[in-house]
Amino acid sequence: MKDPVRIDTNWHYHGLRALVIENSRLRLVILPELGGKLWSLVDKSRDREIFWHNPRLIPRPAPYGAAYDDWFCGGWDELFPNDAPTTFAGDAYPDHGEWWSMPFDWEVTTRERDEVTLHCWRAGVVTNTAVDRWITVRADDPRLQIRYRIHNAGPQPLDFLWKLHPALTITPDARIDLPACTVQPAAIFNDRLDKQPFVWPTAHSAQGETVDMRVVPGLDAATCDFYYATDLAGGWCALTDAATRAGFGLAFDPTIFRSVWLFGAYRGWRGLYTTILEPCTGYPYQLADAVAQGTASRLAAGATIETTVTAVLYHGRSAVTQITRNGEVQ
């Protein structure tokens, strides 16, 4: 008989409500009062924390409109309807969107021996939207299935960027894998590259040398990477620790998440060391620029987006060539 999956809603972490979902493979902690943040994901077979945590910042309530970077404690946030703070269509959009600092309501909708589902939801602040998220964990399963619904209740179409933002623990043995794609370097945080578009995974340094972008720079790199992977041949991304042959991957619908952003802080930004894999509905990070060049997404008045993302823990491999929509890693 499979070991059961359990949820415990009685915990607090630094004064915030902490919802703990656990099976034989993983333990997930969600902080609903802080943007519904997925704070911790432990691979129990390796006793390894998957999500990076800022060593200088603890999770704490953030005022709406705060500067995201100064409150960036780690874990998995979600950004909507923008990244960079902006005034768009007459409205002031806060830094990294309107969700991450706001509390989400929640309820446990399924509590069975073989399955737990947690439903989190809230309304937009600036946007006339409603977001629902259902997180499902099953017994003996190394996957999280996250079903989303975003509804535009307003009378006008909504231009937006919606981005998943899991910050991941890395070592110098980490490797990034993406499907075949073309890559557009961002205008900032790319000092080690020549800033020219390239075909994954081979870029060129500012000195003209070949750079394998699958290889995570070491602790002494003192650099950053920030780029947009576009024209994706598949809907997935992965980060593997080659030394332990264990990793974390995401599988998603590439017709919705049409790009994967990657921000790598390799001691070149505030001395921090993490890689953030960021499936996004468009690019670049300035919403107005994305709209102008036709790479933003638009939700019609009264329309709804529904999609499912699968996050998976895997073992026994040092590289990934594909992750299927249901989370099968190859």
- What the block records as the tokens of 318 is 């040092």
Say if 323 falls within a structural domain.
Answer: no
Q: Which pLDDT belongs to residue 190?
A: 85
Q: How many CB atoms lie within 10 A of CB 248?
A: 23
Say if 296 falls within a structural domain.
Answer: yes
CB burial of residue 265 (10 Å; 0-12, 13-18, 19+): buried
Q: What is the C-alpha to C-alpha distance for residues 229 and 235, in angstroms, rounded to an integer?
A: 11
Say if 330 falls within a structural domain.
Answer: no
Say if 183 falls within a structural domain.
Answer: yes
Say if 1 falls within a structural domain.
Answer: no
* Phi, psi for residue 146 in degrees, rounded to 5: -120, 115
Q: Which pLDDT belongs to residue 191?
A: 84
Say if 75 falls within a structural domain.
Answer: yes
Residue position matching structure tokens 């000092």: 191
Q: Which pLDDT belongs to residue 37?
A: 98
Q: Which pLDDT belongs to residue 24?
A: 97
In sequence order, what DSSP letters do the residues of 172-199 get, joined into one string? TTEEEE--S-EEEE-SSS-TTB----EE
Range of the domain at 309: 6-315
Would you give per-residue pLDDT tens digits along the chain (330 residues)?
Answer: 788 999 999 999 999 999 999 999 999 999 999 999 999 999 999 999 999 999 999 999 999 999 999 999 999 999 999 999 999 999 999 999 999 999 999 999 999 999 999 999 999 999 999 999 999 999 999 999 999 999 999 999 999 999 999 999 999 999 999 999 999 999 888 889 999 999 999 999 989 999 999 999 999 999 999 999 999 999 999 999 999 999 999 999 999 999 999 999 999 999 999 999 999 999 999 999 999 999 999 999 999 999 999 999 999 999 999 999 999 999
Nearest to 257 by CA among 227, 230, 286, 222: 230
Check which CATH number belongs to the domain holding 73 and give it.
2.70.98.10
Q: Which pLDDT belongs to residue 2?
A: 80
As for how many domains the chain has, the answer is: 1
Say if 146 falls within a structural domain.
Answer: yes
Say if 325 falls within a structural domain.
Answer: no
Contact between residue 259 and residue 182 where contact means Cβ atoms under 8 Å apart: no
Q: What is the C-alpha to C-alpha distance for residues 316 and 309, in angstroms, rounded to an integer?
A: 23
